[in-house]
Structures are given as C-alpha cells and as structure tokens.
Amino acid sequence: MINGQTRTITVAFTGASGLPYGVRLVECLIRGGCRVWLLYSQVAQVVARQEMAWNLPGRPADVEAELSARFEAVPGQLRVFGREEWFAPPASGSNPPDAMVVCPCTMATLAAVAGGLSRSLIERAADVVIKEGRKLVLVPRETPYSAIHLENMLKLARLGVCILPPNPGFYHHPQTVQDLVDFVVARVLDQLGVPHRLMARWGDEGAAQ
C-alpha cells in the first residue's frame, strides 16, 4: 500500500537466466502491501529448476497457493494466471495494473513487445501497459547485446519503457549472492515507487533490512 492506496503490479517470469530476481521482487511487493498479478512462461519452469532447484508448478493455482503461503500473502493479494488465460485482468486495457515488470526478460519477449505481437498473455499484458500509458519495466538478462537487441531496447525506451539490466553495483560491499540480487530488486522497486530497505542508499548510513 502506497499513500493509502493498494497498488497492483503485474510481474512476469520468462525463460532468461535470473529468476531469483523475479521471485525476490514478488516477495518484496507482497510484503510491501502491493497486489501482484503473476504470469510465467513454460521455459521459466525450466529456469526455476536450473537456478533455484524449484519445481515451479505448471498449474497457476498451485503456484498461487505455494507463493502465497511462502510470502504470507493475504487472501487475494497474489493471483497467478496461465499463459493463454485471455480473460485474465492483465489482458484488457479496461483493467490495467498500475505497472508491470518482466523479470527476467528474454530477448525474444523483448522483441515481441517491441513488435506488438501479443502472442501470449505476457506479451499482451505488456502491450496493454504500454498503450494505457502505465509503467513497464523490462529486466533483460543477456550478454553481450547484439545490434538487434539494442535497437529493440531503444525503440521501447523511446516509448517510455524502462530498460533495467540486472547489473549489480559493488559500492555497497556485497557479501552474499542475496546482496547482489537485492541490489537489482531495489532498483526495480525504486522504478515502481515502492518503499523498501533492501540496502543502504548512497550517502545514507542506514543499514539494509
């Protein structure tokens, strides 16, 4: 909840490396009082096993139950939708979220969003957010970038989309992998206007929590 208002944030997991960023983001949004609409691709299930030893269920209802329990979400705070669930709220401009984050974001998803393809619920949800003038944050995990990748990012940036590569800094002296994850998630939360204390800010002596 921000300024007395419950914010709704759509989060999408795609098949790029970096799923720990997305899961931590969902946790922080829920603990921050936001309502979360979660979407995930089939390849994200493969990445979950590879990077987190997590068997991300194929049924959205199972994911919803598991993450709601893990992050202590209140009833209805987290909703999870299937890849082709076209009657889900994120599919329509009549019920857009306040913002959307694709984290991590594959280059294929980024290209599809840049081209307005809307072949899946993730792509359609991003298209809705752009056309409705809401905040869209893409967290592309790829290196190096090709000219194609850069041109797609530039096209989206010119539309007002935030391109936020997961490049952690080291000036806060990270001690663990979790510190590096939190650095990136903190930057995403800043873009969304969601308060957090994941790390001390530049020039601030306060400790992260």
Residue 41 assigned ligand-binding role:
yes
Residue 15 assigned ligand-binding role:
yes
Residue 115 makes CB contacts below 8 A (sequence gap 6+) with none
Summarize pLDDT for 168-205 with one digit per residue, the tens.
999 989 999 999 999 999 999 999 999 999 988 888 76
What is the value of pTM for the model shown?
0.95
Taking residues 130-148, what's their average pLDDT?
98
Residue 187 assigned ligand-binding role:
yes
Give yes or no for a contact between 202 and 171, defined as CB atoms under 8 angstroms apart.
yes
- H helical segments located in the chain: 19-31, 42-52, 60-70, 107-115, 121-131, 147-158, 177-192
Residue 41 makes CB contacts below 8 A (sequence gap 6+) with 12, 13, 14, 15, 83, 109, 120, 122
Residue 108 assigned ligand-binding role:
yes
Summarize pLDDT for 4-13 with one digit per residue, the tens.
579 999 999 9
Closest to 159 (Cα-Cα) out of 206, 199, 110, 196: 110
C-beta neighbour count of 105 within 10 angstroms: 29
CA distance 110 to 18: 15
Binned at pLDDT 50, 70 and 90, residue 207 comes out as: very low
* pLDDT of the residue at 91: 98
Q: Read off the tokens for 105.
A: 């974001």
Residue 100 assigned ligand-binding role:
no
C-beta neighbour count of 163 within 10 angstroms: 17
CATH architecture type of domain 8-192: 3-Layer(aba) Sandwich (3.40)
Residue 141 assigned ligand-binding role:
yes
Residue 107 assigned ligand-binding role:
yes
CA distance 15 to 90: 20
* C-alpha radius of gyration, the chain, whole number: 16
Q: Read off the tokens for 57.
A: 């269920």
Closest to 31 (Cα-Cα) out of 185, 200, 191, 204: 185
Residue 57 makes CB contacts below 8 A (sequence gap 6+) with 63, 66
Summarize pLDDT for 83-121 with one digit per residue, the tens.
999 999 999 999 999 999 999 999 999 999 999 999 999
